[in-house]
A and B are shown apart, each in its own frame.
Chain A
């Protein structure tokens, strides 16, 4: 026979006060990372761009989750829940990419998609060749 667990019916107690590095310091680090993520791609080296733009995004997200949202002092399953959702999205992109991302396979090609890519390139070239076009 189950014993009554007293805590089950207790009203929610206030969460323990959050300590840790100062929030302002964390914000400073986030701004520094932002600068890195803007400057990095300016070097126009592909690997550097990927690392600085997207790698930094991951780091920033982690910092916000850990230091602002205090997800690390929350119950473990909250992290698992959110992580599962992210993984689910990864699964979806992985499974759908062969159809949407790729425009040919062993024995097929997506001619409509290829045509639209060519059209996009051509119209960009035409726009760049116009007098007064802005070049970046």
Chain B
């Protein structure tokens, strides 16, 4: 379908797609803020949760942080390539970002199956309820980001819609920042 003239206008000077992503990030801050805020208040009021938190796998968490930071690097390199008009390189970098997301999810699934096997399920203790819910909501955002990224990479490889590379990158960096806070909250605060 034809793009409406409305989409091409920019009274603010910010391209429309990017402006929308900033607003999306703003609304996501309050969603994650609600989850994390709820968790923080309970955690500070329940010192006994330290006995549960001690069973989280700090090395898995740290490794996953490394993975996401690296995938963010790939995303910003994709943006740089797109800025120079190199759609093929941008697509390649985006695929790398997706691979990073995949590694993250694989590590997480190993981590979770180990924990569930050891008896730390979502209902065994409210600490674990928050743990799985917060990381789960984050994980869903990772998955959705990966899917959208694949579509944008496919277009970029053909040299189309290169401005979307930066936009999906912004979303991905935000998801990374959420994890940057989740990591100490769930894995370090013991």
**CB <8 Å contact, B14 and A74:** yes
- Nearest Cβ in chain B — how far from A16, in angstroms? 9
- Nearest Cβ in chain B — how far from A127, in angstroms? 8
The verdict on B173 contacting chain A, using a C-beta distance below 8 Å, is yes
Interface SS majority for chain B:
helix
Q: Which residue of chain A lies nearest to B163 when distances are taken between CB atoms in the complex?
A: A14
The verdict on A86 contacting chain B, using a C-beta distance below 8 Å, is yes
The verdict on B158 contacting chain A, using a C-beta distance below 8 Å, is no
A24 to B177, CA, bound (A): 18
- Nearest Cβ in chain A — how far from B146, in angstroms? 18
The verdict on B125 contacting chain A, using a C-beta distance below 8 Å, is yes
Scan residues 29-44 of chain A and give those whose CB is less than 8 A from a CB of chain B: 30-31, 34, 37-38, 41
The bracket for how many chain A residues form the interface is: 35 or more
The verdict on A15 contacting chain B, using a C-beta distance below 8 Å, is yes
Scan residues 9-45 of chain B and give those whose CB is less than 8 A from a CB of chain A: 9-16, 18, 22-23, 25-26, 29-30, 33-34, 37-38, 40-42, 44-45
| Chain A residues, Cβ within 8 Å of B181 | 57, 61
- Nearest Cβ in chain B — how far from A28, in angstroms? 10
The verdict on A1 contacting chain B, using a C-beta distance below 8 Å, is no
The verdict on A130 contacting chain B, using a C-beta distance below 8 Å, is no
Stretch at the interface among B64-72, B104-112, B130-138: B64-72
| Contact among B14, B30, B49, B58 with A38 in the assembled complex (CB-CB below 8 Å) | B58
| Contact among A12, A24, A92, A116 with B73 in the assembled complex (CB-CB below 8 Å) | A24
| Contact among B25, B40, B76 with A23 in the assembled complex (CB-CB below 8 Å) | B76
| Chain A residues, Cβ within 8 Å of B52 | 120, 124
- Nearest Cβ in chain B — how far from A31, in angstroms? 7
**CB <8 Å contact, B166 and A65:** no
**CB <8 Å contact, B45 and A102:** yes
| Chain B residues, Cβ within 8 Å of A120 | 46, 48-49, 51-52, 125
In the complex with contacts A12-B8, A38-B62, A85-B33 CB distance below 8 A: yes
In the complex with contacts A14-B163, A49-B188, A74-B14, A27-B69 CB distance below 8 A: yes
- Top 7 closest pairs, chain A to chain B, by CB: A120-B48, A89-B33, A124-B51, A12-B10, A53-B184, A12-B15, A85-B29
27 CB-based A-B contacts, threshold 8 Å: A11-B8, A12-B8, A12-B14, A12-B15, A15-B18, A15-B83, A17-B83, A26-B73, A30-B69, A34-B65, A53-B189, A57-B181, A61-B181, A75-B14, A82-B26, A85-B30, A85-B33, A86-B29, A86-B33, A89-B33, A102-B45, A116-B46, A117-B47, A120-B49, A124-B48, A124-B52, A136-B54
